[in-house]
Structure 1
Amino acid sequence: MTTKEIKILPIGKEGSGPDEYGYYGSFGGAYIPEMLFPNVEELKTRYLEIMAEPAFQNEFRTLLRDYVGRPTPLFFAERLSKQFNTRIYLKREDLCHTGAHKINNTVGQILLALRLGKKRIIAETGAGQHGVATATVCALKGIECVVYMGEKDIERQAPNVARMKMLGATVVPALSGSRTLKDATNEAIRAWINNPTDTHYIIGSVVGPHPYPDMVARFQSVISEEVRWQLLEQTGSELPSHMIACVGGGSNAAGAFYHFIHEQAVKLVAVEAAGHGINTGMSAATTQLGRSGILHGSKSLVMQTEDGQVTEPHSISAGLDYPGIGPLHAHLYESGRGTFLSVTDDDALRSAFEVSRLEGIIPALETAHAFSALKQLSLRTDNTVVVCLSGRGDKDLATYMKAMGV
């Protein structure tokens, strides 16, 4: 296959999505209040049709190129490669406009919302990158934006809160529960129930009721689409031996894995947050601690008590501080297609400083978990490893400064 042919692979390659009911194996579906049924049904019946329209694809691709800055580079990390005695490439999503992969999805969803006649956008955010990306595209298109964010996350991600407000968004604190991403999502869903006709909810991860997990994965699949032709140009082969990405809900991992799911030669490595340790009661390692349950509109693996109450997660990284996982990832875990590892707060911090000093790239705390997982893999000299560098570390400088004693 030529480079040119790979470049025009359609976003949303057939065979990587759910069945007609939104299930990946036994996970997925749409468990929603009756008041949201018209909205979700409209999305379900129209999203593929709208996304396939040439005018939509042209506008989406043009914005990805001229506004987001795609394609993002695939960078050979020479010093990191020497340390692990293998070949490591970094997919530089941190170089996207707004500093993370989140903008790929918000560009797609704002175009979809406008074609559905929506006049107002709401969103949830944890680390703040999705909130910033949503506020950015709303400013671009001149549409009202309200972002729900946990009070705890507002405190630890203050720069991103300021960015959202500067872009014209209203930031609403979630004051219940752990005051983190889970609670922000709860508040956003409540707001959507109260404004079902004129409002579109831009979910930032591959979670929520069908069709959101599939829709978000399709918009993010541009990541693995580009990796294929970039690897071919640089190595002569379009397939890596390992594709590694961090997972909270899992949007960057879904995008990084998408065009490799049916390539059995590619090992898909998803990295969760172990927090203080898997068995400490202060963790967010859903595949290790969770069981089947319903959370935020879909059936997936959920951290919960014996009587089904959601357990409060913990991670030093606001973007991984979530008690569930997207249904696609739950299926990859259950089927054995994906390898799921977990990394503690301390190990993620160590890897963040290590990568910064080896490659001159300060990664987001989320991505630092993915880098730390390299230590858990048995890598050979002839392996080709791609790490999805999902975001840059500007937003986490306060945490890094604290670790340095500054």
Structure 2
Amino acid sequence: MRVWMAAALFCAAAAAQAQTGAPIRLGMIDGLSGPFANAGEAVVRNLRIAIERVNASGGVKLPDGPHPFELVTFDSKGNVDESLIQFRSLVDKRIPFVLQGNSSAVASALVGAINRQNARQPDARVLFLNYSAVDPSLTNENCSFWHFRFDASADMRMQALTEAIRSERSVRKVYLIDQDYSFGHQVARSAREMLATKRPDIQIVGDEFHPIGKIKDFAPYIAKIKASGADAVITGNWGNDLTLMVKAAREGGLNARFYTFYGNGLGAPAAMGDAGVGRVLAVAEWHPNVGGAASDAFYQSFRARYPDPRDDYVHLRMQMMVEMLARAIERAGSTDAVAVGYALEDMRFTNAFHEATVRAEDHQVLQPLYVSVMAKRGGDVRFDNEGSGYGFRTIKKLKTAQTTLPTTCRMERPPRN
């Protein structure tokens, strides 16, 4: 192992020395302080290891030679106004690529700001790579040539969760609870519509929204859910809003299944403990127990880079995003936003355990999704989450064709260079 690590470090150092061109800077705008700082910090870790992989393989090859990627972070404090201030700083620094995801409200504001920026200053255009903001409008009525989403939309995620619910006959009463902003409202709307089609026998016994990032004690909400008689909860909550809610559910003895978008990290498994086994479900493009040597190696390389169990929250989509951007820049032969944007369209990503495609029509990445359920580590649950002793095992895999939904995008495209 030591010989392998020494050889890897030598190769990485040699590759870094060979990259003589100026760094290609990627500007991440996200909350690195405030109630969702842990989610922002998890993104930084994923982006850094993805960038390190690209740089270790020789960087981004352009006509004047190889260039390394460099991550520059901007703390949005998790709010729209600060995000727009940080965006102006990013533009002033002439950073060509914006990376953001942990808020659909912020993503929508950034799309508008980038549309205006690129129209007013065509010599300083930027491209927006979205790793987590899943409001469907971003690739439907509010789509933009300058925006690419590498995560599944809220509708695509709900498509996967409701497919799991379709065959779970024990689910008869569902409570919807979400954060009170555009994304949360879309999650609830999508759940109602899809359940009405797939399981019209299910009764929705609650449909509630709460302030985002401001609730410290979810016990009153859990009491209302218990009183409703719900046997299942559907939520798009993320970050501390999810962790605190599942903790309150455990403490309040809520005997219901949680169908979540993000219940497999940021403290949620440990917060639920044994009470979550067989009851907390999550949906994602990948999870550590997907299986296979290549998937295992991918996860283990992340854990080797970040051995602290508290840092264990791995997103394949962020690794994929950085790799696809590197290839698009090479294909374009420059970092020009127009050229790179067209190079990303219809691009395919394939490794030994995942495939994805950028749909040119709306710049939505299409890919398989996994629905997984929380379980104690052991057997086919080889890896736990965050050192909690609990991991997730797949209960349903949806192929790309099953997660692909139509788009209403009518994109305005700039002339090719």
TM-score for both structures, normalised by structure 2: 0.30
Please identify the structure whose Cα radius of gyration is greater: 2
Would you tell me which structure has more helix in proportion to its own residues?
A: 1
